[in-house]
Amino acid sequence: MKPVWIVDDDRSIRWVLEKALAREQIAHKSFASAVDALAALDDGEVPQVLLSDIRMPGQSGLELLQHVKSHIPSLPVIIMTAYSDLESAVAAFQGGAFEYLPKPFDVDQALELIRRALDESMHQDGAVEEAGITPEILGQAPAMQEVFRAIGRLAMSHATVLITGESGSGKELVARALHRHSPRADKPFIAINTAAIPKDLLESELFGHERGAFTGAATQRRGRFEQAEGGTLFLDEIGDMPQELQTRLLRVLSDGHYYRVGGHQPLKANVRVIAATHQNLETRVKDGLFREDLFHRLNVIRIRLPALRERREDIPLLARHFLAKSAQDLGVEPKRLSDGAVKFLVSLDFQGNVRQLENLCHWLTVMAPGQLVEVGDLPPELREASPASGAGVVGGWEEALAAEADRLLARSVPDVHGKLSDIFERILIARALAHTGGRRIEAAQALGIGRNTITRKIQELGLEGGKGAAAEEVAE
């Protein structure tokens, strides 16, 4: 490992840091000025981590930081200064500093920061840049693989699609992917959120209007159906569409024709409609809030997008992607999650789904103090949130079941359902028999199954009824 460089014109500061690093057996090298450090860099020497004061005779620490970041962008630089002012902190971070350390500092605090910087540097050294285009939608979970397969099957189709899923789960991404892989890919993709537009304006938004159709209609306006001609029209939150507009949409889907508001000339719609909703449309149909005939027109092919808590194994992958994306957008080095932070995030329910995780990663890119994000760096409201119950809790029995299912499926073991079902029933019945002292009738009642069922299962699964079983059979 390369040494840690200390650049400071204050000899006492260099001495304290040298002793602390030597005690931790961390290789180091000191410089009294930025000029000396730059000369060493020009000679081909490269540190693992650089600590530099800001205000020094000659060139400043910020100038040194600028030079380092232009030549070795992955090198973590910790800026030290006795001038704890806002301008210095902002300048240091804008220049790409790993961390800002005001003087006087606690030696243990400085060592912890250096360790984090070393860890980041080692990670950068070992990282392999992945070439290629970023996938449109990320996901390795089985539920997401089903979504990918559905998109693939629909690649050459013009069929109407209904996408269901919770808010923030990425329904528009799926709609865009369906368009991008369809025969209409070279035509427009037009998206409209039917819940975000007032009812009085929505009809004009969808179908357009003629000049003079209503007060304020000074010119003719093309609606979204016309704008999407030959392409795809994405109707988000379709479940909130007013009933009178549901009738007009049904007519378009039925015969392919519509009228602008105030118009008398029918227009032909050559548009593929993809609709999405976070609501249960079947329930809204039963409640009389959504037309049943329109529901069946939209529900030609349905794609259900899983909530993030149903695909927890994708959280680390998505977090890395969003952290890299935020870093690129802001022009800074990407942050990295510690193992503890990853486990904590996986344990959360994320009611806002993927959108909430993306917003969190953007927050961390701006606000997390170091490159390695620990649990303590997460927003307070997130740290105080209760971990998810059931499958989300690391080490839970449902997670163990999922892991066993994955293992058996990966090995192509036949009858996975049968094998796991037998194990499940064997454990349940064995524990119930142990609880009742081997009395089958009481065990059956505790489990909520019939007496004959438990007797048959005991025989099929090779279980012993235990004490009391014989007496029960005589009583029967």
In terms of Cβ atoms closer than 10 Å to its own Cβ (0-12, 13-18, 19+), residue 86 is exposed
- Rounded mean pLDDT of 405-418? 75
CA distance 358 to 309: 15
Q: Return the pLDDT at 305.
A: 93
pLDDT at 259 over 50: yes
What's the pLDDT at 264?
Answer: 87
Query: Would the pLDDT of 283 be above 50?
Result: yes
Output the pLDDT for position 115: 86
- Mean pLDDT, to the nearest integer, of 160-168? 94
What are the two backbone dihedrals, phi and then psi, of residue 64, each rounded to the nearest 5 degrees? -65, -45
Return the CA Rg of the chain. Answer: 32
Cα 179 from chain centre: 22
| Residues 273 and 235: beta-carbon distance below 8 Å | yes
> From the CB of residue 449, how many other CB atoms can be counted at a distance below 10 Å?
16
DSSP run (H or E) holding 252: helix 243-255
pLDDT given at position 385: 65
Residue 322 confidence class, pLDDT cut points 50, 70, 90: very high
The pLDDT of residue 95 is 66
Contacts of 278 by beta carbon, 8 Å cutoff, 6+ apart = 164, 165, 166, 167, 171, 237, 239
Which range of 104-108, 279-283, 346-350, 472-476 scores highest in mean pLDDT? It is: 279-283
- The DSSP code sequence of 70-91 is HH-TTS-EEEEES---HHHHHH
Max mean pLDDT among 81-90, 255-264, 400-409, 429-438 falls in 255-264
* Burial of 101 (C-beta count, 10 Å sphere; 0-12/13-18/19+): buried
Asked whether the bond before 104 is cis by omega within 30 degrees of 0, the reply is yes
Contact 268, 256 (CB under 8 A): yes
169-184 confidence digits (pLDDT tens): 999 999 999 998 899 9
Check whether 320 has a pLDDT greater than 50: yes
Sign of the C-alpha dihedral computed for residues 180, 183, 187 and 193 taken in this order: negative
Proportion of the chain above pLDDT 90, given as a percent = 36
pLDDT confidence bin for 92, thresholds 50/70/90: low
Q: Which helix (H) or strand (E) holds 282?
A: helix 281-286
Residue by residue, what is the 3-state secondary structure of 315-384? HHHHHHHHHHHHHHHHCCCCCEECHHHHHHHHCCCCCCHHHHHHHHHHHHHHHCCCCEECHHHCCHHHHC
Model confidence band, residue 32 (pLDDT cutoffs 50, 70, 90):
very high
Confidence check: pLDDT of 107 > 80: yes
**Nearest of 10, 17, 13 to residue 32 by alpha carbon:** 10
User: Band of the pLDDT at 132, cuts 50, 70, 90?
Assistant: very low
Instruction: Over range 259-275, report the average pLDDT.
Output: 91
In this prediction, residue 155 has a pLDDT band, given cuts at 50, 70 and 90, of confident
Predicted confidence band at 103 (pLDDT cuts at 50, 70, 90)?
confident
Per-residue pLDDT at 313: 92
Q: Which residue has the higher pLDDT, 99 or 43?
A: 43
Q: Give CA–CA dist 34/7, Å, rounded.
A: 6
What is the distance between the alpha carbons of residues 4 and 19, in angstroms, rounded to a whole number?
Answer: 13
The answer to whether residues 256 and 269 touch, using CB atoms and an 8 Å cutoff, is yes
Of 159, 157, 160, residue with least CA distance to 294: 160
Average pLDDT score over residue span 454-462: 85
Nearest Cα residue to 278 out of 245, 304, 254: 304
- Tell whether the model's pLDDT for residue 308 goes beyond 90: yes
Q: Of the given ranges (212-216, 375-379, 390-394), which has the lowest mean pLDDT?
A: 390-394
In sequence order, the 6+-apart residues with CB closer than 8 A to the CB of 395 are none
Q: Is residue 364 scored above 50 in pLDDT?
A: yes
Q: What percent of the chain has pLDDT over 70?
A: 87
Average pLDDT estimate for 388-393: 44
